[in-house]
Amino acid sequence: MDMEFARNMIVDFIRSNIEDSGLGGAVVGVSGGIDSALTTYLTAEAIGSKKVLGIHMPQMGITPAEDVLDAEEIADSTGIEFKVIDVNPILNTYIDSLNREGQETSSLVEGNLKARIRMSILYYYANTLNRMVIGTGNRTELMLGYYTKYGDGGVDIEPIGDLYKTEVRELSHLIGISENIVSKVPSAGLWKGQTDEEELGLSYEIIDRILEMLDRGCSVDDAGKTLNVSDERIDSIIGRIDANRHKLQPPRICRLKDVRRPDI
Ligand SMILES: Nc1ncnc2c1ncn2[C@@H]1O[C@H](COP(=O)(O)OP(=O)(O)OC[C@H]2O[C@@H]([n+]3cccc(C(=O)O)c3)[C@H](O)[C@@H]2O)[C@@H](O)[C@H]1O
Ligand SMILES: Nc1ncnc2c1ncn2[C@@H]1O[C@H](COP(=O)(O)OP(=O)(O)OP(=O)(O)O)[C@@H](O)[C@H]1O
Ligand SMILES: [Mg+2]
């Protein structure tokens, strides 16, 4: 891919979507990870840093301490407005209230809740400031459904949604995002020690090559042989794509056209 060309297209996409909406700017969740770093840089380039609010939302005890420093560095180098909001008190209030119902929970359930709390905070500011929430999902995550529905997936536009994770790294490198952010181990940060590649069972380099090959119509067999990956691993990727396809569709509506009386 011509990365300079892609960069210009993404910047134009952000600018024109915000202009067409009549909204006055952007709100981005800045985790200190590469996806939100790249999105923040491109959004600041598109509409000017003064119209971008970045919000870091750590969960004390779970979010690594260096993430806030990395998020601050992204804000400093782009010149955007920046806030830090601790999600712990909000999360604890939810969990205390829900635990009283006696239902058992899990780190995945609580992690998804945390992602939805972050989404609510971003929309609180988008509503208040008359701005758009900018998504940070990449093509790999969107194809796999590797995000929380209505959590980090609950956004207004997805500017980097057609870049594979490995292309996100390439473009971030090209625009000069600091090496410690570009080379950081990807993590959703939903529970302590979580990493994307451990949960997905393969590296992003391999996943992206599998996705590219499947996209070109290659068989599981061909992809497996070319990449030296077992059929089971490739099937697990296909399984994720199939099981999570609903996340990319609007909720299905039960259509009643055939039973509606013509005189009403
Ligand atoms: N066929 C279907 N049609 C319509 N809806 C369907 C459905 N199947 C499930 N659902 C709904 O979807 C729900 C499950 O989806 P969801 O709530 O998203 O939860 P789920 O997909 O189970 O979990 C989220 C996954 O994304 C990962 N994640 C989350 C956040 C950030 C990142 C990151 O990389 O930063 C990664 C996380 O580690 C986990 O593996 C079900 O409870 C149900 O409500
Ligand atoms: N602590 C956080 N503070 C603010 N936003 C967050 C936080 N954690 C997650 N998010 C939001 O959720 C998005 C999805 O997380 P994800 O981990 O996929 O992206 P990333 O952290 O930017 O990059 P990486 O995948 O390499 O860790 C982030 O890009 C960010 O917008
Ligand atoms: Mg992350």
Domain boundaries, the chain: 3-196, 201-264
CA distance 18 to 141: 24
Q: Which pLDDT score is estimated for 223?
A: 86
What string of pLDDT tens digits covers the 264 residues of the chain? 999 999 999 999 999 999 999 999 999 999 999 999 999 999 999 999 999 999 999 998 889 989 999 999 999 999 999 999 999 999 999 998 888 767 778 889 999 999 999 999 999 999 999 999 999 999 999 999 999 999 999 999 999 999 999 999 999 999 999 999 999 999 988 888 889 999 999 999 999 999 999 999 998 888 888 999 998 899 999 999 999 999 999 999 999 988 987 765
The pLDDT, as a whole number, for residue 261 is 79
pLDDT of the residue at 45: 98
pTM equals 0.95
List pLDDT tens digits, range 234-251: 999 999 999 999 999 999
70 lines ligand 2 (CB under 6 A): no
192 is an annotated ligand-binding site residue: no
Nearest CA to ligand 2 atom 23: 33
Half-sphere exposure at residue 150, Cβ-oriented, CA atoms within 13 angstroms: 7
Q: Would you say domain 201-264 falls under CATH 1.10.10?
A: yes
Q: Are 29 and 122 in contact (CB under 8 A)?
A: yes
Annotated ligand binding at 156? The verdict is: yes
Neighbours of 250 (CB within 10 A): 6
pLDDT tens-digit map of 109-163: 999 999 999 999 999 999 999 999 999 999 999 999 999 999 999 999 999 999 9
* Cα(64) to centroid(ligand 3), Å: 11
- Interface confidence (ipTM) of the complex: 0.98
Longest dimension (CA), the chain: 66
Residue 103: Cβ within 10 Å count: 8
Fold of 3-196: Rossmann fold (3.40.50)
35 touches ligand 1 (CB under 6 Å): no
Q: Is the CB of 146 under 6 A from ligand 1?
A: yes
Residues whose CB is less than 8 angstroms from the CB of residue 57 and which lie 6 or more positions away in sequence, other chains included: 29, 84, 85, 86, 87, 117, 118, 121
Give residue 77's pLDDT. Answer: 97
Taking the CA of 33 as reference, the closest ligand is 2
